[in-house]
Chain A
Amino acid sequence: MNKFKISALCIALILGMVAGYAQTTTWNLEGTILEPYYNNPVEGAIVSITGLKESVKTDKDGKFSVKLASSTGEISVWFPGYYTSKQPISGRKTITVILIPEEKSGYSENMLLPFKGSTNIREKQTNLFSIQKKDISINKTDIEQVFSKIPGLQVIGKSGMPGEGSFFGIRGTNTFTASSSPLIVVNGIPYMPDMNESGIIGGFSKSVLNSLNPRDIQNITVLKGSDATLYGSLGSNGVIMIETDKAVDLDTKVEFSSQLGVDLNQSTMPVMGVKDYKNYISNVSLTKYSDMASALASFPYLVDDQTYYYKYLYNNNTNWQNLIYTPGITTDNVLKIKGGDEIAKYDISIGYKNKGGQMVGTNYSKYYCRANADVNLSRKISFNSSIMMSYMDYSLQEQGILENTNPLLAAMKKGPIFSAYDKDANNNLLPSYASIRDADGNLIENNSVSNPLALVNKVTATDQDYDIQINAGLNYKMNDNISINGIMGLYYFFSRQNFFMPGVTETSIMPLSNLLANNTVRSAQGVTFNTYFNLNANYKKTFNDIHLVKASIGAQVAINNNEYNAASGYNTANDYYKTLGYVSSSSRNYYGYLNAWNWMNYNANAQYIYNQQLAFGANISVDASSSTGTDATLFQVYPAVNATWMAKNSILKDVNTINKLNIRAEYSTTGNSRYSSSLSKYYYVSKVFNELSGLTRSGIPNTKIVPEFNQTFNLGTDVSVLNNRLDLTADVYYTKNSNLIMPVSSTSSYGTDYVYANAASAENKGVELGAQFAVIQTKDLKWYVGATVSSNKSDVLSLGGQKNMVMSMSDGSAVISEVGNSLYSFYGLQVDESNPVFSTSDQAKNAKLRTAAGKYYQAGDMHFVDQNNDSIIDDRDRINLGSANPTFFGTINTSIQYKGFELSANFGYSLGNKMYNAVRRSMESMSDFTNQLVSVNNRWMSEGQVTSMPRASYGDPLGNSQFSDRWIEDASYLKLKELTLSYNFKFMNGTTVYITGENLFTITRYLGLDPENMYSYDTSLRGFDYGKVALPRSFKVGFNVKL
C-alpha cells in the first residue's frame, strides 16, 4: 500500500498543493445551515466534521460553532428530508451550507459505475448522468421513456404496435457494420439481446427492454465518457447502467401499483371519398385500357346506372381507417415486497401488464417476477443475486410497406365504395367479410386490396417470449480499503413467433408471394443464451483527510450465443390448417442464423482526488473478442484519462452565489467489437447443389479485421447556482471514429462485390445540455422546470478511398454515406423546384428528358433534375437529400406541486430531421386502382395546368413516384409526451393516485401518420416511415399504495 501513498503524495507535490496543509492546532469554525428557498435557517441539522468525535446540531438560527484540531477536514451536514452535504473546510473559518431537499425534481446524487458499485455526485469526475427512482414517474410503463430525460440520449418511439417500445441511441451513429446500440448493463451484467426485427412478422421490432419494469428501477446511469472505457470494445456507443430495486431498510414494505388506461389511435391520413375516388379510377383506367368501354367493363361502378344489378356492391361509403382502430385497454400492475433483517434482505416484485393496441387484433401482455436478495454471509463476505423471469405474449399485425397485409395501408388503399361485409342483392349486410374474389374464385380486378377488417380480425401474428435473467455475485471485503467482487450472469431468451394469413376459406384477403399464396404460414423461433463473468478488486482510501485514492482492477468474460430459425410456406388445404406441416411442399422456405460471439476484457482504473478540489483519473482496458480477425492483433488497448476541477471547493469556496462549479475534461477511447464473428474469418458455407450438399467459399476473408476504434474528447461542466435551485450540466464532445468496418467495393476479380475492411473513419461532434430549475420550492408549493438540448453532427471522414457508399432498399430508396456528409443520408432524385411538373407538352419536349429505357417525359410528368446532363433520368442523377439526424432534440418538462397535488408535463422535440414518407409515396403514386390521398386531386389533368402533383398513369412507366425528394419531408416536431395530475396522500406512506394523458398533441408539418417513428433498432433505417402504427394517444388512471 505504500506505493499508493507515495504516488498520491507525489501527485500532490507536483501540483503544488502541499501549501494547503494548515498547521494550526486549534481552528474555530462557524457555520450556517440553510434550506434553499428564502434562505431559511435549518434548526437541528447534524454537523459532523472529520476528527471531531461528536456531531453537533445547529441552533434555531441554523448556526453551529466548533473547535477543530485542523482546518483540513471535511464537513458533513445532514437533516431529515435533505441530502447529506459534504465539503472540505479548506482553511475556512465560516461556512454556509445550503442543503438540497431529497424531493428536488430531476436531481440525483448517486451514479452507477462499472464494477465499483456507485459514486456520489461529489466525486463525479466524468460525463455521467443518472436518474433515480424518485424521478421515474409512476405512470411510466416502458423504461425507454425514462431514458429521454438524459441529455444526449435520443429516444424515438418505434410505433404504436404494442410491445415495440422505443429506439434509443447515444451521440449519433458511429458505425456501418457493428452494433450501434448503447451497451445496457443490468445489475452489473452486460445485457446483449438479439435486436433484429422479426424475420416473419413484417416490421415487428420488439423492445429489448420489455422484461424490465420501470417500477423496479432504482437507478439508471449513462456513461458517455472515460468510464465507458472499462467496457473496452463494448463501450463505443455509451453505456446505460441499470440497477433494479434492492431492499435498504430492515422493515418489511409492501407496495402495490396499478393503472388502467386506454390507447386510442391519434392519426389517420386523408384519403379520397367516393366521388374523388371514382374520378381517379376513370382517369387512371384510361391510361391502362385503350378505350372507355374496356375500362367500364372492369369498373362498372363508373357508370351511374341505377338499374345495374350489382350496384349494391359499390354503393358504400366506408371509412376504412376508422374500422381498423379500436380503443385498446391497458393495465400495468406490480406488487412489491421488500424487507429482511441484518443478515438477509430481499426485494420481490410480481407483475402483470397488458397493453391492448389501438389497432384491432393487437395486444401485448407480460407476466413477470423478480427477486433480489442481499445476504451478509459474514462481516466480510456478502452475497447478492437477482432473478428475473418474464413471459410475454404478443398479438400483432404486420407493418411495413406490405400493401396486402399491413392493415394500415390496406385501410388507406381500399376504395370507400366497397363494403366491409358481404351484402345480398337487397343491400343487407351478411356476417362474412366482403370477399375480393368472384364466384369462380378469381380475384376481382377492381377490388384487389385486402379487406382491412378481415386482416385485423383474421390474420394471426403472435409472439411468445420467455426471458430469464439470473445473476449472482460475491463480495469479499478484505478490509476497509480493499474489496473483491465476483459476479456471474446468465441470460436466456426464447422466442416463438407464428404467422398465419388465411385466404382459402376466407376470400377477403389478397394472396401473397406473387399471388400464389392464398394462405400463408410462417413460423420462427429464436434462442439467445449469454453468460458473463466478472472478477474485480477495488481499493479506496483517503490519506491525511485530503488525498482520496481509488483504484480497481478486473477481468470479465462474455460468451454469447444466438440462434434464429424461421420457415414459411403457403397454400394449406384450407384455413383451418394453420401449421407448416400442411403447406405445399414447393412453397417451403427456410431461413436462419447462428451467431456465436465471445469477449474478454481486462481493465484497470485509478483515481486521485485532492481535497475535493482536483481529480484525476485513468482507465485502461485490454480487450479481445472473437470478431477480431485471426491474423490481427487479438488484444486491443483502450486508455482513457480525465481531470476535473471542482472550483466551488477551491477558489469559489466563499462565493455563495455559486453552489457548485465543476469543470471536467476527458479523453477516452473505446472500441466496437459487436459485429459478427464470421466477418473476419476464412470460411466455407453450405451451398446446396440440387439435393447434394456443397461447400463454397464465403467471399474473400479479411482476417486482419480489428474492432472499430473511437477517441472522444469531452469537455463538460456541472453548475449549481441560486442556492442549488438551478442545476446545469453541459458537455461538448468530439469523437473520432476510426477503423470503421465497411464493405469496401473490391474489384470483381475477388469473386465478390465487396470485402469488409477497417477502411472508414468518421467524426461525431455535439453539445449536450441539461438544466433543472426549481422556480419555486417551498414547503407547500413547488414549481420545477427542466430541459435537455442535444445536438449531434456526424460526418464521414473517409471511406477507404471511395467517395461514397450507397445502400439501396428494395423499394428503390437508398441512403448514402459520403465523405464530408452525415452517415446514412437519403439519396435520390431531385425534383426541379421551380417547375416540379411539366405543365405543357412544349415544356416537356424542350427538356428532352427520357428514362434509361428511352421513354420521353411528357406533360404532366415529374420534372426531375438531370444532374449529369445526359438527358437521361436514372440513378446516376441521384443526390444527397439530407439526413434523418435532427439538428437538435431533447425534452422539456415541468411540474407544479401544491401540497399533495402535482401537475406535470413532459414535452419531446426534434428539430431539423428529415423523413422518407414511404406511406405517402405509396398513397400518391397514382399508378393503380387503389385509393389515394386527397392530395392527388391536384394531379395534372390538362395541358397547361400548373401543379406539383403529376398525372395519374397506370404502372407509372415514367417513374414519377420513384424515390426522390418528393417523399423527403421535414419531420421536426414538438410533442406533449405526457401530462399527469396526481395526488399524494402523505399520511398514507406516500400513496398516490394519478391520471395521465400521453401523446396529447403533436405540432409538426410532417404529412405522415406520426413524425416520431422508427422501423427497427437499425440506425441505417432511421427516418424511414414504412407504415408503422402511430404512437397511441393514451389516457390512464392509476394508484400506488404503500403499506
Chain B
Amino acid sequence: MKKLIYSIFALAIAVSFSSCSDFFNPDTSEILLEKDYVGDYTELYSGYMGIASAVKDVADQELFLEGLRGDFMEPTSNAPREIWDVYNHQDLTNNSFASPKGYYNVIMNANDYLAHIFAYHKKDSTSISDTNFKGMVGGALRYKVWAYLQLAKIYGEAVYLDEPVTSYGEISKYPVLKFDDIISKCISLVENGTNGVTGKGDVDWIAALFPGQTLGDANWHWNKICPRPECLLAELYLYQNNFQKTKENCIAFIKRGGEQENYSYQINLSEYNGEWQKMFYLRTSMRKENSFLLFYDYSLHQTNRLVNYYSNTYPNSYYLKPTIVGINRFKVQTASGVVGDTYRGTGVTYKEVNGDTVIYKFLQGNLTADKIYTNDASITLYRAAEMHMFLVEALVGLGRFQEALTFLNKGISGAGIKPVGTAFPAPFQEYPTTLYLATGDKSNSGIRGRVNLDAVGVFALNSASVLDTLVNMRRLDSLIVEEASLELAGEGKAYYAMNRMARRWSSNADRSWASHWTNALGNSNPNNLWGSDVQNTWAAKIGAKYTKGSGITSSLQSSLDNWFMKYKISE
C-alpha cells in the first residue's frame, strides 16, 4: 500500500523534474534569453542593430541638453519642470530629462555585444567573414566610445564599464573616471581596440543588406549608422590638444569621403548657400554632408522628440525655443557688408511661426499637415562641416593660420587657389587637388563661403611675432566657437566647443602643445594668455540668456566643474 503511494509520487516527481530547467524558463518566443544568444550568426547582425537603436533613443536628448546649457535654447512656458531645472542648473535628482541612462544603455549593449561576438567567433570563426567580424567589433567599440565621449562632455565623469554587467548591485565595483581619463580610454578603444581587434573596422552594410546593389541615394545612409573612427578620433584628440592627430584624422576623413563615398565631405558647391538648409530635411541630398546619421520612420514607430518639442503647431508641445542671444548671433553676420546670415539665419535655423520663434532647422521636413506630428526628423551627429571645424581648430593649434582661415572662410576654391601641376601650392600641397577641385560643384567653398558670408579672422594672417601668433590662436579659437554656434546651432555641439576652449586656455591647462612658441618667448604664460579669461567670456555669453541675478555666469566662471551637469551616477 505504502509502496503504491510512494511509487505514484516518485512518478509525479520524476515527470515534473525531467525537464526542470525548461519548465522554469518557459519560452515565450517574445524574449531571447541570454543563454540562447547568440544562437545563429544572424543574431550578431541583429545585436549590432540593437546598439544602433539604443543610440537612436538618446540622440534627441543629446541636442536638448547641449542647447539648454549652451546659449542657443531656452524652455517655453509649456515646458515641464524637469526641462526648466536643466536650464536653470537646478537639482537634477531623478530628472529623467537629464538622466544619462540612455548613454549607459548604449554602453551596456555594446559591452554585451562585444562579449557575445568574441565568444561566438571563438567557437565558430567561419560563419562571418573576417572583415565583417572586425567591422562589427569596431562598430560596437565606436558606439561605446561615442557614448563615453558624450558622457564626458555632458557630465564630466562616467562609470567605466569594460565588461557586461550581468546583475544588479555590481556597478559599485567599476571605477568612476573623470573627463581626461575618459578621453584617454576612448582614444585607446578606437586605436587599440580590445582582444586584438581595433575600433576602426567597419561593415559595408549596403553590401551586406542589399547585395548586388550599388551605392545610391536609396541606401547610402546605411553605411552612416555608426560614427567613423576618424570623426571620433579627431574630436577626442582635440580634447588632448593633439592637433597633429586631429588634423590627420580630419584629412583622412575628407579623403575617404572624396575617394570612396562619391565626392562627399568637401564642403563644396553642391550645398552652396541656399542649398544649405536642405541638409536637415532632404535625406537624399545629405550624402555629401552627413557622416553619422540617425534616421527615423514614424510608420515603423521610430520617432524622436525634435518636432514635438520645437514645433508650436498642433499637436506638438513646443517646449523649446531659440534664445535672443542665439538669434542675434546670426543677425550680426555680414555678407558683402550686408547684415544677416541669409542662408542659415531666419527662416532656416529659426523662424517666426504662429507668433512665436521656433527652432526651425529640423522642422522643415515635417511641416505639412500630414507630417507635422510624425516626429521622425533625422538627427545628424557628425557631418562634414564639423569635421572641417575640427580641422580648422587643429590647424590653428598648429599655427597654420592660412590653411585654417581658408577652410573656415572661402575655401580653397573660393580663395582662388589653383593647382599648379598636380598639386595645390604651399601651404596647401597636402590637400589633393582631386578633392578640392578649383572649379565645378565639387570645388571647396569653405564653411562661411558656402553660405556667402564675409571672411572672419583675417587679422591672424598678419601675426607679426611669436606672441602675436599665440594671442591670435586664442582669438581664432573664439571665432571657431562662434562659427560652430552658427553652423551647428541646435546640433548639440557649440557648448562643448566653448567648454573645450575654456579648458584649453585655463590657468592649469597642459600647455605642452604650445611649447614651440612659449619656449621661443621664454615665458610659459605670456600676457597671462592662460587664465580665466576664456572661461569668463563664454560664461558671460551663456549667462546672457538668463535673467539678471541668476548666478549662472558666476557659477560657470568660478569652476570648470560647473560646466558639467551634476547627476548622481554611483550607488
Interface size class of A (residues with CB under 8 A): 35 or more
Contact B53 A747 (CB under 8 A): no
> Of the 9-residue stretches A174-182, A574-582, A750-758, which lies at the interface with chain B?
A750-758
State in angstroms the CA–CA spacing of A303 and B101 once bound together. 56
Given A535-B12, A694-B53, check contact A853 B76 (CB 8 Å): yes
B184-210 vs A, CB cutoff 8 Å, 1 = contact: the mask equals 000000000000000000000000010
What mask results when residues 742 to 763 of chain A are scored 1 for a CB within 8 Å of chain B, else 0? 0011111111110101000000
B80 with A690: CB separation less than 8 A: no
CB of A588 within 8 A of chain B?
yes
Q: Which of B349-400 contact A (CB under 8 A)?
A: 373-374
Q: Is A628 an interface residue (CB 8 A)?
A: yes
Q: In the complex, are the beta carbons of B49 and A694 less than 8 A apart?
A: yes
CB of A678 closer than 8 Å to a CB of B: yes
User: Among residues 1 to 43 in chain B, which have CB atoms less than 8 Å away from a CB atom of chain A?
Assistant: 1, 5, 8-9, 12-13, 16, 23-35, 37, 43
Given A514-B315, A624-B24, are A688 and B302 neighbors across the interface (CB < 8 Å)? yes
Q: Does B107 contact A (CB under 8 A)?
A: yes
Contact between A688 and B569 (Cβ–Cβ < 8 Å)? no
Nearest residue, chain B, Cβ from A535: B12
Given known contacts A747-B570, A957-B77, A691 and B28 CB-to-CB distance under 8 angstroms: no
Across the interface, do B49 and A692 meet the contact criterion of CB distance under 8 Å? yes
**How distant is the Cα of A755 from the Cα of B30 in the complex, in angstroms?**
20
Q: How many residues of B contact A (CB 8 A)?
A: 82
Q: Chain B residues with Cβ under 8 A from A600's Cβ? A: 16, 23
Are B295 and A535 neighbours in the complex by a CB distance under 8 Å?
no
In the complex, what residues of B have CB within 8 A of residue A535's CB?
Answer: 8-9, 12
Given contacts A593-B30, A594-B28, A748-B99, contact A631 B50 (CB under 8 A): no
Q: Once bound together, how far apart are the Cα atoms of A672 and B249, in whole Å?
A: 58
- Which residues of B lie under 8 Å from residue A875 when comparing CB positions? 81
Check if B284 is an interface residue, CB within 8 A of chain A: no
Q: Tell me whether A655 is interfacial, beta carbon within 8 Å.
A: no
Determine the chain B residues whose CB is within 8 A of the CB of A484 once the complex forms.
Answer: 5, 8
Which A residues between 821 and 873 are near B, CB-CB below 8 angstroms? 851-855
Taken together as a complex, chains A and B put the C-alpha atoms of A594 and B32 apart, in Å, by 13
A322 in the interface, Cβ–Cβ < 8 Å? no
Q: How far is the CA of A516 from the CA of B375 in the complex (A)?
A: 14
**A748 / chain B contacts, CB cutoff of 8 Å:** 99-101, 104, 567, 569
CB-nearest residue of chain A to B98: A748
- How far does the alpha carbon of A537 sit from the alpha carbon of B48 in the complex, in Å? 55
Residue pair B77, A626 in contact (C-beta under 8 Å): no
Point out the residues of chain A lying under 8 angstroms from B45, CB to CB.
692
In the complex, residue of chain B having the shortest beta-carbon distance to the beta carbon of A627: B24
Question: Which of chain B's residues have a CB closer than 8 A to the CB of A745?
Answer: 94
A555's partner among B12, B24, B99, B295 (CB-CB below 8 A) is B12
Asked if B431 is an interface residue, CB under 8 A from chain A, the answer is no
Instruction: Give the interface centre of B45, B79, B109, B569 by most chain A CB atoms within 10 Å.
Output: B109
Q: Which residue of A lies closest to B52 (CB)?
A: A689
Closest to A757 in B: B168
Contact with B26, one of A677, A704, A874 (Cβ below 8 angstroms): A677
- Beta-carbon contact of A749 and B570 below 8 Å: yes
Contacts A482-B1, A630-B25; A688 near B167 (Cβ below 8 A): no
Across the interface, which residues of A come within 8 angstroms of B102, CB to CB? Answer: 751
Partner of B168, one of A482, A516, A690, A702: A702
Number of A-B contacts (CB under 8 A): 220
User: Which among B77, B100, B112 is the interface contact of A749 at CB below 8 angstroms?
Assistant: B100
Residue pair B33, A752 in contact (C-beta under 8 Å) = no
From A226-234, A645-653, A679-687, give the one contacting chain B. Answer: A679-687
Q: Which residues of B contact A750 (CB under 8 A)?
A: 101, 104, 108, 165, 168, 171
| CA A851 to CA B75, docked complex, whole Å | 13
Report yes or no: A555 in contact with B47, Cβ–Cβ below 8 A. Answer: no
Q: Which residues on B sit within 8 Å (CB–CB) of A588?
A: 299
A105 at the interface (CB under 8 A from B): no
Q: Are B209 and A692 in contact (CB under 8 A)?
A: yes
Residues of A contacting B295 with CB < 8 Å?
A: 690
Cα–Cα distance between A462 and B518 once the two chains are bound (Å): 82
| Residue on A nearest B221 in the bound complex, by CB | A690
Which of chain B's residues have a CB closer than 8 A to the CB of A514? 314-315, 373
Assess the B54–A855 pair: CB atoms within 8 A.
no
Distance (whole angstroms) from the CB of B42 to the closest CB of chain A: 9
Q: Which residue of the partner chain, among B16, B30, B56, contacts A594 with CB atoms under 8 Å?
A: B30
Which residue of chain A lies nearest to B164 when distances are taken between CB atoms in the complex? Answer: A697
Which A residue sits closest to B34, measured CB to CB? A682
Q: In the complex, what residues of A have CB within 8 A of residue B34's CB?
A: 681-684, 701
Judged by a CB distance under 8 angstroms, whether B84 is at the interface is yes
Whether the Cβ atoms of B315 and A694 lie closer than 8 Å is no
- How many Å lie between the Cα of A777 and that of B381 in the bound state? 86
Q: Does B105 sit at the interface, judged by CB under 8 A?
A: yes
Check A702 against B167 for contact (C-beta < 8 Å): yes
Whole-angstrom CA separation of A624 from B158 in the bound complex: 40
B336 at the interface (CB under 8 A from A): no
Q: Is B301 an interface residue (CB 8 A)?
A: yes
Q: Is A306 an interface residue (CB 8 A)?
A: no
B5 touches A689 (CB 8 A): no
- Which residues of A694-750 are within 8 A (CB) of B? 694-698, 700-704, 744-750
A748–B56 alpha-carbon span in the complex (Å):
18
Cross-chain contact B75 with A853 (CB below 8 angstroms) = yes
Q: Is A586 an interface residue (CB 8 A)?
A: yes
12 A-B pairs (CB sep. < 8 Å): A535-B12, A553-B9, A687-B53, A688-B301, A694-B51, A696-B50, A703-B167, A744-B168, A852-B81, A854-B77, A855-B77, A874-B81
Nearest 6 pairs of A and B residues by beta carbon = A751-B105, A694-B49, A596-B26, A514-B315, A748-B101, A751-B104
